[in-house]
Amino acid sequence: MLRFGEFKTKAGRLSPYFFNAGLFNDGAKLGRLAEFYAHRLLDAKLEFDMLFGPAYKGITLAAAVSIELARLGKNVPYAYNRKEAKDHGEGGTLVGAPVQGRVLIIDDVISAGTSVRESIAMIQAAGATPCGVAIALDRQEKATENGNDAPYSAVQWVERQLGLPVCAIATLTDLLQYLQSGSDAQLGTHFASVAAYRDRYGV
């Protein structure tokens, strides 16, 4: 799921690593990932009425986490958006349960914060209240603000400016510790480039 090489992020940064949640591409892998999200959420004792998964990768994540939460005794509705509005049938951009009450965003990664800002705006536009965010990886990168790098990360912005909790299963710090640990000599060869990226874009 984690790849090393050269990847352009949504914010246009050239990253030596990339977390590809699209590679949780069978039932066992996606189900296992959903277990991590669900346990992380239950441990954090976050209160929420429903889940929202931003397109595209957040869609399967929200669906899988809702199934796992139901299995653990917490059955909540979920919704997601379309990136392109549909102009026939039911129309619109929101799909699934009505977006209402306290809404928890489920996404894969937060980098510079564009996606999470968009999700918050969609939830508020529907008249609901964003109440937190769950992600697999916090890349601990500078947020972008009007196209410029901010001195705080996107997760810090969500937590400090908006007062919303963010639950991450793993962080860039965890990744760097793993790369440096010597557990996998081949993966360890990527430590220097990832550390250099953190020096440039990290907080």
Q: Where is 59: in which H helix or E strand?
A: helix 57-71
Strand pairing report for 92-96 and 78-86: antiparallel
Buried b (16+ CB within 10 A) or exposed e, 8-28: ebebebebbbbbebeebeeee
Feature table: binding site for 5-phospho-alpha-D-ribose 1-diphosphate: 10, 56-57, 82-83, 86, 88, 107-115
Verify binding: residue 112, ligand PRP, rule CB under 6 A. yes
Q: Of 25 and 180, which CB lies nearer to ligand PRP in the complex structure?
A: 25
Feature table: binding site: 10, 18-19, 56-57, 82-83, 86, 88, 107-115, 139
Question: Look-up: residue for tokens 């392109």?
Answer: 84
Are the beta carbons of 138 and 157 closer than 8 angstroms? Answer: no
Verify binding: residue 108, ligand ORO, rule CB under 6 A. yes
Q: Quick one: how many helices (H) and strands (E) in the chain?
A: 7, 11
Task: Compute the Cα dihedral for 49, 107, 64, 96 and give only its sign.
Answer: positive
Verify binding: residue 138, ligand PRP, rule CB under 6 A. no
Which of the listed partners (ligand ORO, ligand PRP, none) does 175 bind, with a CB threshold of 5 to 8 Å by partner kind? none
- The catalytic residue among 29, 86, 142, 190 is 86
- 29 among known catalytic residues: no
Q: Can you tell me which of 10, 32, 86, 200 binds ligand ORO, judged by CB under 6 A?
A: 10
Which of the listed partners (ligand PRP, ligand ORO, none) does 68 bind, with a CB threshold of 5 to 8 Å by partner kind? none
Q: Under the rule (CB under 6 A), what is the footprint of ligand ORO? A: 9-11, 18-19, 108-109, 111
Catalogue the active-site residues: 86, 88
